[in-house]
Amino acid sequence: MSKSLKRVRAALEAAGLPNDVRETDRARTAQMAAESIGCVLDQIAKSIIFQGDSSGEAILFLTAGGNQVDTVKASALAGERLGKADADLVRAQTGFAIGGVSPVGHITPIRAFIDLRLLEFDIVWAAAGTPNHVFHIDPSLLPGLTGAKPADFIV
């Protein structure tokens, strides 16, 4: 089992949540994950990482699978211009590789925002630390677990 997957499982257990992780070889895109799991596209919680231009820090935007982040709105929320985060920054600040970034289990605290659309569901599915593992969670728990602020940052 990968270190990343172990961290996600440990974070879920520490929060008193089931660590019911599902392995799928079809989770490389939100659409593929939704089809594999049997849920609607917007029940996939995508972890989109940007880099703050002035802070240099990674900033997490949890968004519904069918939505895209509006970088102008996201920059306003973050209080700085946002740029693309490269694989090295993502790995260094979250502990995850791109494609497997989980909303929980980060190696360092991260500023985060959550798409209001995700909060409309009873259950959402998110990456569990690898591109091939996902877990389900009541999205109303994500702000408390991640520190993510509910916000409108969608195109």
pLDDT tens per residue across span 2-25:
999 999 999 999 999 998 899 998
Q: How many CB atoms lie within 10 A of CB 40?
A: 12
pLDDT at 59: 98
Predicted local distance difference test score (pLDDT) of residue 98 = 93
Residue 145 confidence class, pLDDT cut points 50, 70, 90: very high
Q: What count of other Cβ atoms lies within 10 Å of the Cβ of residue 132?
A: 19
Query: Can you give the pLDDT at residue 95?
Result: 97
Instruction: Report pLDDT for 26.
Output: 77
The tens digit of pLDDT for each residue in 61-118 reads 999 999 999 999 999 999 999 999 999 999 999 999 999 999 999 999 999 999 999 9
What pLDDT sits at residue 28? 76
Number of domains in the chain: 1
- Give the chain's length: 155
pTM, entire model: 0.96
The distance from CA 72 to its chain's CA centroid, rounded to whole angstroms, is 20
Q: Residue 35: what pLDDT?
A: 94
Q: Is residue 124 within 8 Å of residue 37, measured between CB atoms?
A: no
Q: What is the DSSP string of 18-57?
A: ---EEE-S--SSHHHHHHHHTS-GGGEEEEEEEEETTT--
Cα separations in angstroms, 58 against 2, 40, 86, 154: 22, 28, 10, 18
Q: How far apart are CA 1 and CA 63, in angstroms?
A: 27
Question: What is the domain range of residue 52?
Answer: 3-151
Q: Which tokens hold the place of 5?
A: 């997957």
Q: Can you give the CATH number for the domain in which 133 is found?
A: 3.90.960.10
Indicate if the pLDDT at residue 29 is higher than 90. Answer: no
Return the number of other C-beta atoms located less than 10 Å from residue 53's C-beta: 12
Give the distance, in angstroms, between the CA of residue 96 and the centroid of all CA atoms in the same chain: 11
Q: What is the pLDDT of residue 66?
A: 97
